[in-house]
């Protein structure tokens, strides 16, 4: 032990473990139980490191300390809280990810509040038929302040003093994928109204209940909200705004014990592109608002091909939503959830290329990817 005390590596080993312990104790502000738990996880690498340093020398102790530290962080990140009677609100549960998530969380035992755009629609009817009595359907157009208030009062009546554990802002629209110049201003406003302002309004309304439970706020953004993608200016800008909002909320709400996560999935088949009737309406609006010189510059063949592009989008999307559902579950129940999740093929890779490579390389990469 004398050799350990006089060894710089030995002191480094103990110092790193001590620093880790102080950090996790500072983060764990919730309860004495959690403080004891993280204290155990921080003392474990310190103890093993010191023991191995005495037996193997300072270098061996430092290696064991580092390995144990990394293992404890990894295992701590994978540990999930019990479901218990936790209640979660999901917006946009009529179809797609919101619909699948409502079923998934209901099967796991959550008390689910499924917000739907049409309480009498087929999506809502299927949830009534297939889910348990714990699930409650809420008429919730997130652009309607009155419906948000009514949904809040209904949730408050049911959760009473326990608070609401989670809010998943999933509701969103894609709009008509087309070059930025071609999109009418109404499309930009509609995407912002639903994808951003709607999510902000829901978050603000339900934050008092999240504060009471020290719960979770999960916002469904998109890969297009983290990287620029051609033809997705309106959609991508609204999702980028939501991602930035999520990051700010993560910082501001940490003092209340509320954890905030944003999901950036890659392409999944969710039905967000809407129906053929909606495409026809959006295409007509786009064409009617085009100046004659712009129409001439792009050419009729290119403009007519925009709808064909939209029809082919689902072919390149994954039908299996389980990676997204697993990411949301981790964000809701992990003891140490991530701030950002990138489920799906290519989501994390393209984000890294955009962030760490020259922009000319990213642009080249995206052109090649979209041509394939």
For residues 271 and 120, give the distance between their C-alpha atoms in angstroms, rounded to a whole number. 19
Using alpha carbons only, what angle is made at residue 208 by residues 206 and 210, rounded to the nearest 5 degrees?
Answer: 70
Q: Which residues pair with 168 in a beta bridge?
A: 90, 218
For residue 320, give every residue at least 6 positions away whose Cβ sits within 8 Å of its Cβ, in sequence order, or none.
Answer: 268
HEC profile of 77-141: HHCECCCCCCEEEECCCCCHHHHHHHHHHHHHCCEEEEEECCCCCHHHHHHHHHCCCCCEEEECC
- Tell the burial category of 185 from Cβ atoms under 10 Å away from its Cβ (0-12, 13-18, 19+): exposed
For residue 6, give every residue at least 6 positions away whose Cβ sits within 8 Å of its Cβ, in sequence order, or none.
Answer: none
For residues 253 and 339, give the distance between their C-alpha atoms in angstroms, rounded to a whole number. 13
Q: Which residues pair with 111 in a beta bridge?
A: 87
For residue 26, give every residue at least 6 positions away whose Cβ sits within 8 Å of its Cβ, in sequence order, or none.
Answer: none
Q: Which residues pair with 90 in a beta bridge?
A: 114, 168
Q: Annotated catalytic sites, by residue?
A: 235
Among residues 146, 147, 239, 255, which one has the least CA distance to residue 199? Answer: 239
For residues 145 and 107, give the distance between their C-alpha atoms in angstroms, rounded to a whole number. 30
Phi, psi dihedrals of residue 349, rounded to the nearest 5°: -65, -45
For residues 114 and 101, give the distance between their C-alpha atoms in angstroms, rounded to a whole number. 9
Q: What is the dihedral of CA 300, 305, 307, 308, to 10 degrees?
A: 150
């Amino acid at each position: 032990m004398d050799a350990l005390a006089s060894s710089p590596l030995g002191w480094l080993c103990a110092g790193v473990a001590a620093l880790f312990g102080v950090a996790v104790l500072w983060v764990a502000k919730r309860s004495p139980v959690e403080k004891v738990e993280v204290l155990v996880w921080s003392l474990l690498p310190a103890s093993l490191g010191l023991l191995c340093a005495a037996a193997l020398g300072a270098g061996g102790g430092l290696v064991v300390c580092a390995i144990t530290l990394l293992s404890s962080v990894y295992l701590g990140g994978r540990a999930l809280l019990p479901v218990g009677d936790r209640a979660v609100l999901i917006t946009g549960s009529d179809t797609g990810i919101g619909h699948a998530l409502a079923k998934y969380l209901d099967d796991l035992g959550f008390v689910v509040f499924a917000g739907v755009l049409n309480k009498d629609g087929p999506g809502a009817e299927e949830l009534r038929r297939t889910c348990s009595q714990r699930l409650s359907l809420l008429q919730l157009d997130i652009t309607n302040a009155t419906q948000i208030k009514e949904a809040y009062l209904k949730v408050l009546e049911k959760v009473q003093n326990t608070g609401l554990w989670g809010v998943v802002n999933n509701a969103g629209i894609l709009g008509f994928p087309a070059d930025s110049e071609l999109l009418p201003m109404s499309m930009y406003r509609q995407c912002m109204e639903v994808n951003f302002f709607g999510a902000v309004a829901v978050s603000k309304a339900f934050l008092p209940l999240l504060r009471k439970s020290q719960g979770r706020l999960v916002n469904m953004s998109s890969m297009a909200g983290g990287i620029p993608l051609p033809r997705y200016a309106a959609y991508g800008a609204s999702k980028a705004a939501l991602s930035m909002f999520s990051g700010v909320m993560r910082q501001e709400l940490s003092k209340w014990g509320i954890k905030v996560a944003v999901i950036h999935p890659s392409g999944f088949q969710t039905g967000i592109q809407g129906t053929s009737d909606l495409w026809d309406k959006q295409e007509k609006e786009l064409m009617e608002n085009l100046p004659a010189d712009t129409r001439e510059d792009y050419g009729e063949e290119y403009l007519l091909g925009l709808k064909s592009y939209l029809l082919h989008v689902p072919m390149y999307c994954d039908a299996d939503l389980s990676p997204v559902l697993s990411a949301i579950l981790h964000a809701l129940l992990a003891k140490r959830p991530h701030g950002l999740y990138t489920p799906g093929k290519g989501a994390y890779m393209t984000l890294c290329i955009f962030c760490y490579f020259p922009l000319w390389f990213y642009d080249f990469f995206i052109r090649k990817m979209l041509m394939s």
